[in-house]
Amino acid sequence: MTASAPEAGPAGPDSAPATDAPSGPAGAPATDARHRTESAPATDARHSTESAPGTGTPPGTNGSPRTHTPPGTENAPGTPTPPGTAGASPSPHRVPRLAVLLLITVVTALAALALGRYVVPPNEVLRLLVGQVLPLDRTWTPAEESVVLDVRLPRVLLSLLVGGGLALGGAALQGVFRNPLVSPDVIGVSSGASFGGVLGLLLGLGSAAVVGGAFAFGLVALVTVLLIGRLNSGSPILMIVLGGTVTGAFFTALVSFVKYLADPESQLPSIVFWLLGSLATATYAKALTAAVPVLVGATVVLALRWRLNVLSLGDEDATALGVPPRSTRVLLLTAVALMTAGAVAVAGLVGWVGLVVPHLARLWTGSDHRVQLPAAFLIGGAYLTVIDTLSRTVTAAEMPLGILTAVIGAPFFVFLLARSRNRMWSQ
């Protein structure tokens, strides 16, 4: 008995119990015993595992999890796939969050139409707006109609467009550069647009020239950054950041020179106030002027949001997945520049929106850009609407937007960093 018993060895999936191994002569090679054991259909542990019903282990996996993905199960819950790859769908619990954000944005806009130095009842605001489309009994006064339709509605529309465009641009840039501290100011478009605006104010060409000059020089700044990015065949992201820094510094110097040349009594105050950011001169024409570049740029960015997920994997992986990184990056930067130039042209420099709001959107929806980018657009519009409402109600004289966004945004950003630490970028 002891001479014919096989040697004890470590148990494994291919080893059979000793009682099932047929007896052989003493001194028979171990390979022969193993061969005879594996040739027995009833004693093959691997074979019995694969053929046992209900085990759920695909053939050939040897029981080890996630070593093989059968065809058609690429998006199985246990498969480690990067977020936002082609064929994946957003998590079901994230889609209703966009609906909640849309509802919050609409309620914020209606509250902004009702609040102010002249308070209009919210029910009258709703009836007044619906009455422009449907025949309703006139229960509102002419003063309420003038305040809501002529003064506040263009301002609310403009705040939604400007805030949404800046926030969406900041979220897209943070994804492109894979850096949570990036904002639209990095690519130098804001400085270029501000120079075009102050140049129009210095020359006294009117509001249309101010808007047109700001938009034109914003595009000039973008072209300059892209040309600088092509000077070196090294890292394109690094060259774009350096080009944006140089371009922004150059146009900032030009803005300072214009302020130096401006008349301190008549021109300089208007230039300084415009640079601080304000929606006090909002009209339907300005809202339409901002809507064209902001909505066009937002459409491009939202259409490419799944490619932004692929870009986050790196240029080599993006190329392997069929996404050209250089052309996609240039297209996204052009769309962001359109939105930024359109926002600065009608509202001046409004800081912190493109830096703070993307973090809020990331905390709310996660790092999947397919959901994060629409959320950033909605949160940015609601955020700037709240800031603008505070600017015209807190003090007797209207406070510039740039002051409030910095005073509120800076401490709030520190609070977000302290509360979430690495979680909001590593999700």
Dihedral, 354, 358, 361, 366 alpha carbons, nearest 10: 170
pLDDT of 407 above 70: yes
- Average of pLDDT values for 149-166? 96
Q: How many CB atoms lie within 10 A of CB 338?
A: 26
Per-residue pLDDT for 424 more than 80? no
pLDDT computed for residue 17 by the predictor: 41
* pLDDT of the residue at 180: 81
pLDDT at residue 268 in the model: 92
More confident residue, 297 or 182: 297
Is the pLDDT confidence value at 423 over 70? no
Measure the CA–CA gap between 127 and 157, rounded to whole angstroms. 18
C-alpha distances (whole Å) from 243 to each of 237, 413, 424 are 10, 26, 28
Give me the mean pLDDT over the 291-298 stretch: 94
Whether the pLDDT of residue 185 is over 90: the answer is: no
> Residue 343 is encoded by which pair of tokens?
């926002």
If one compares 200 and 31, the residue with the highest pLDDT of the two is: 200
Question: Is the pLDDT score of 87 beyond 60?
Answer: no
Predicted confidence at residue 380, as pLDDT, reads 96
pLDDT number for residue 205: 83
Q: What rounded mean pLDDT belongs to the chain?
A: 79
- pLDDT of 14 over the 80 cut: no
Per-residue pLDDT band for 107 (boundaries 50, 70, 90) equals very high
Closest C-alpha among 179, 182, 112, 93 to residue 381: 112
Question: Is residue 219 within 8 Å of residue 335, measured between CB atoms?
Answer: no
- Reported confidence tier of residue 35, pLDDT bands at 50, 70, 90: very low
Amino acid 317: pLDDT: 86
Taking residues 200-206, what's their average pLDDT?
A: 87
| Mean pLDDT of the region 185-201 | 90
Confidence check: pLDDT of 322 > 50: yes
Q: Taking the model in full, what pTM does it have?
A: 0.74
Q: What is the pLDDT of residue 147?
A: 94
The CA distance from 232 to 237, in Å, is 11
pLDDT, residue 234, reads 63
222-263 pLDDT, tens digit per residue, is: 889 888 888 876 667 788 888 889 999 999 999 999 999 999
Residue count of the chain, please give it. Answer: 427
| pLDDT value for 43 | 41
Q: What is the pLDDT of residue 72?
A: 40
Q: Give me 242's structure tokens.
A: 């350096």
In sequence order, which ranges of 119-206 are alpha helices (DSSP H)? 122-131, 142-145, 153-177, 189-203
Whether residue 127 is predicted with pLDDT greater than 90 in this model: the reply is yes
Residue 83: pLDDT band by 50, 70, 90 thresholds?
Answer: very low
Least confident of 76-80, 104-108, 403-407: 76-80
Rg (CA), the chain: 31
Least confident span in 97-111, 113-127, 308-322: 308-322
pLDDT digits (tens, 9 = 90+) for 356-406: 999 999 988 888 999 999 999 999 999 999 999 999 998 888 888 989 998
Reported confidence tier of residue 422, pLDDT bands at 50, 70, 90: low
Q: Say which amino acid occupies 50.
A: E
Question: CB-based burial of residue 103 (10 Å sphere; 0-12 exposed, 13-18 middle, 19+ buried)?
Answer: exposed
The conformation of residue 42, written as its DSSP 8-state character, comes to G
- Residue 257's pLDDT is 96
Give whichever of 80-89, 103-112, 282-291 has the largest mean pLDDT: 103-112
CA distance 275 to 350: 8
